[in-house]
Amino acid sequence: MGGHGLDPVIRGQQGNALNILVDGGYVFGGCPNRMDPPTAYVPLHCFDRVTVGNPGLNPEVHH
């Protein structure tokens, strides 16, 4: 098995400071202590685009 969830860190922000949205819906971790991060629920090959943004600012889109 092994872990496959990625817990991103962007400009020092991590954990609950980052909102993870998949298809427009918020995804939350399933276990305490970040053992099951939100990104564990979607396989990485399903992502075709990552958008990094800040409310009120123009987001950066990475393909």
Residue 33 is assigned to a structural domain of this protein: yes
Q: For residues 58 and 21, which has the higher predicted lDDT (pLDDT)?
A: 21
| Average pLDDT in the chain | 75
Q: How many domains does the chain have?
A: 1
Q: How many CA atoms lie within 13 A of 38 on its CB side?
A: 15
Residue 1 is assigned to a structural domain of this protein: no
pLDDT grade for 1, boundaries at 50, 70 and 90: very low
Q: Is the pLDDT of residue 4 over 70?
A: no
Q: Is the pLDDT of residue 61 over 70?
A: no
Residue 2 is assigned to a structural domain of this protein: no
Q: How far apart are CA 34 and CA 60, in angstroms?
A: 26
Q: For residues 36 and 4, which has the higher predicted lDDT (pLDDT)?
A: 36
Residue 44 is assigned to a structural domain of this protein: yes
How confident is the model at residue 27, as a pLDDT?
A: 84
Q: Answer for the pair 39, 5: CB distance below 8 angstroms, yes or no.
A: yes
Structural domain of 32: 9-62
Q: How far apart are CA 42 and CA 50, in angstroms?
A: 13
